[in-house]
Structure 1
């Protein structure tokens, strides 16, 4: 079955972006509490590539399907969750990569490497990490999982922030009425 490809972000209105971000059809992993624990033998690499037993998973539809089962617990462990079991999955950096962003009517909508759409807001904040010299931006996606903004998406955000640079030189963007600093506040 072919994967549905969403329209380009730039072609969507805020209402269309909001509908895309609703995540229709996502499994209710937050309601599943299986007791059996296994190892998926999967790795999500820092570049967003999914690997299983040392080989890349090359089917985008399979990656998308697995991504809907992801969650991260409070200890930072990522899991693939089904009603029958939960399987550990190694994540080198973030479970998702944000590959595009568009601003519409005061909202920042991000496209992920899994074709998901996420709008930055109180439930999906942007968080700056790293150092002043090597900043990294992350977007909360769902179930504790995050997306790291890739280089071009980070550049788009910087371009948006430059127009809002305050007297103190702080760079920030705003989405859904919330201001998100894009440089680390406490250098690591």
Structure 2
């Protein structure tokens, strides 16, 4: 789920009129969020507070790549005990799998802008294909630090059971919606 976030990074790479440029993900503004049904009563949400990654984009050729790493132990559910439970072997097993990664060498473009990324998400030691939708892709100068950046909102849906995360199914939903705001500074 947080992995999808990775695809989001891909969207940054498509700065208008720039060829073969690279971008570094801004960890302060790239915080993967996820949502899951809880016992049929509510939608519970969490996020990951530490990310890193790079995006490469060649808009002329409409190609690019994304590498995103999420620190699994940075999960934030809003409560210390809940964070500990989510870090345990029941869920993210951060002792054995400290990172979640997304890699993509295939970006899909419409009108010169990336609109999707196809890649591989690795979660709990399992790697599976993931498709990410890229929305609101835009590039410009950050008005505070005066540096060029690109940003987007990334969205994906996945099944946690496909990565071996099966604790409390079906009470805690299998379908996980991932949303990632992504910002990346041009190198």
The TM-score with structure 1 as length reference comes to 0.27
Larger helix share, 1 or 2: 1
The TM-score with structure 2 as length reference comes to 0.27
Larger strand share, 1 or 2: 2
Higher RCO (CA-CA < 8 Å; seq separation 6+): 2
